[in-house]
Amino acid sequence: MTSDRTSDAPMERFKGTLVSALGIPFVDGNDLTILKNGVEIFPAMLDAIGAAERTVDFLTFVYWDGEIADTFARALGDAAQRGARVRVLLDAIGAMRMSRALIGRMEECGVDVVWFRPPPRWTAPGKASSRTHRKILICDDEVAFTGGVGIGAEWEGNAEEPGSWRETHFRLRGPIVSSLGSAFLEDWLEASEDTPAPPSPAPTTGPGTASIQLLRSRGGLEWSDRATLLWVLLSAAEKRVRISTPYFVLDETTVEHFVSAAERGVDVSVLVPGPHIDHRVAQVAGAAWYEELLEAGVRLYEYQPTMIHQKVAVYDDAVASIGSANLNQRSRLQDHEVQLIVADRPFAEALSRMLDDDFALAEPVRPGAWKRRPLHRRVAEALTRPFRRQL
């Protein structure tokens, strides 16, 4: 997707504010493609692996089961057998369901498979809790993928039935690929016995016009760059905020930023799962803040057809936030995430049009009805308070 490079005051305002707050520059010259659901995501990723001649680096939190799990293992093994260096990094908790037979098959083909933070070490309980939740695929240092998808049967298909999840992933080309490579390498070097190699010079130009800021966030005790990013985006928005997240478990300070945005007249809409969700307790925990958000004017919508797992947001139709992070306490405080802020109006507008379709399949949470919710719901929300940091 491209832009005519004309002056865009809202976009430049966001960029300047984010660079000042995070100290991370934007990288120009990038091209992005939106991939919707497994029917588009998996063929694009597999085509890139199949075309790789030199290197494949793959990091994922979820690698479970289903036909797609076997297909990916075969594709990665084939790449190694034709001479590419293939590195696969799996989170030891998120991918624990993965078939050990698939791992053995990949290793026999020459794939280097490494587990991130095998559980648990009683001498380092914090590491057992802090996971890598990043999703990164990089082929030949030329094309990269990131977003929300995991490798499992839930993501197959086109979200046409409750068992097929609604997801969005992204293909990237340009200098940002090198930045994503550093996020992969950060976790790889911790988990493997490799020593860092001298970095290759990152390209300074690319095939597109999107300007991207990449945030590699790690867990913190009460704060992280991921929290700062969200607070800055909410504070800088002037007209409209649209967010889609599978897990919406906020802390008090983040709630205050949502409320502040709505009260100063920003149209804030948040899309969350409805009847279909894989972690019901997270849904209950997040609902504890609904009343305060609704009273301030934040509009909440529950997606109806299936589980919605995408992690995307658009601010003033000028910048978009994409990546692996959820809007919950684990992403804010514990897990390793990768988040990209894309400053490119055509891309932001395309993502917003996609969200139009998703919001059309959702039911609004109505303030009056929510206030009248049953007592047992209120009790369940209160009971989640002690362990919301884990959700």
CA nearest to 318, candidates 260, 241, 265: 241
Q: What is the pTM of this model?
A: 0.93
Is residue 335 helix, strand or coil? Answer: coil
- Between CA 118 and CA 206 the distance in angstroms is 38
355-379 pLDDT, tens per residue?
999 999 999 999 988 888 877 777 6
- Between CA 55 and CA 52 the distance in angstroms is 6
Element (H, E) at 206: none
Q: Cβ distance 224 to 217 under 8 Å?
A: yes
79 has a pLDDT exceeding 80: yes
Query: Which one is predicted more confidently, 391 or 178?
Result: 178
Residues in the chain: 391
Encoded tokens for 176: 């940002």
29-60 pLDDT, tens per residue?
999 999 999 999 999 999 999 999 999 999 99
Q: What is the distance of C-alpha 99 from the center of its chain?
A: 24
Encoded tokens for 93: 């908790």
Mean pLDDT of 301-315: 97
Residue with tokens 């094309």: 143
Mean pLDDT of 131-151: 96
Q: Cβ distance 84 to 56 under 8 Å?
A: yes
Kindly list the structural domains of the chain, giving each domain's residue range(s) and its CATH number in brackets, ordered by start.
9-390 (3.30.870.10)
